[in-house]
A = this chain, B = another copy of it.
Amino acid sequence: MTPAEAMDVADPRGRALVVLAHPRPGSFNHALAAAAAGVLTARGWSAGLRDLYAEGFDPVLSAAELDTTRTAVVSPDPLVAEHQALLAAADILVVVHPTWWGKPPAMMSGWIDRVLAPGVAYRLGAADAAPEPLIQLAALVVLNTSDTPAERETEVFGDPLQAIWERCVGEYLPARSFQRRTFGPVGTSTPEARAGWLRDLERLLPS
């Protein structure tokens, strides 16, 4: 059963959205995203995989979208609006992207900027007050790749991606389970190591 066919199952356990940002088809990020969707489908979730590069997602937030006083909360960009609807309906969000400069690539950065809009993901409170989340996820799973050894990523670079996803995004998009793993260094890895990482993935995903 493909993820697309799984969407037709009458009584799925719930919906999983897998969002991928990597420029090269056939990358290990693509393998991770496909494996995640496959594992979740096999476990009875209705899983959809969205490849932002393949879709031509536009990551640039416009001045109009910045205006939090506007009444329409859905994006004027139909593709962004579609992602907002998918996110609102999701029980599980899996994001897959490489670590570039300690942050997500611009493509994934813009998915966050544009899709997680006020009125969609959260409601802004009074000035200085915490936001009120509108989406409650069962699980947020972040799968990253890096060509930097793990020790250097943490000790030299400080791994800011952990704070971005767990704290900055997580505060507005709360999940009962948060899992993150960085796989790598990918560039120098063996096929056996990569196969092992794809198996490790199973433990990071909701049962």
Using a CB–CB cutoff of 8 Å, the interface residues on chain A facing chain B are 23-25, 53, 59-63, 65-66, 100-107, 109-110, 112-113, 116, 127-128, 149, 152, 156-161, 163-164, 167-169, 171, 185, 187-188
Residues of chain B with a CB closer than 8 A to A171's CB: 156-157
Give the distance to chain B from A103, nearest Cβ to Cβ, in Å.
5
Residues of chain B with a CB closer than 8 A to A100's CB: 61, 112-113
Asked if B164 contacts A103 (CB within 8 A), the reply is: yes
Asked if A106 contacts B103 (CB within 8 A), the reply is: no
Asked if B105 contacts A109 (CB within 8 A), the reply is: yes
Asked if B157 contacts A163 (CB within 8 A), the reply is: yes
> Known contacts being A157-B167, A160-B168, A167-B158, is A106 close to B62, with CB within 8 Å?
no
Asked if B103 contacts A59 (CB within 8 A), the reply is: no
The answer, among B102, B112, B113, B167, for a CB contact under 8 Å with A167, is B102
Asked if B109 contacts A23 (CB within 8 A), the reply is: no
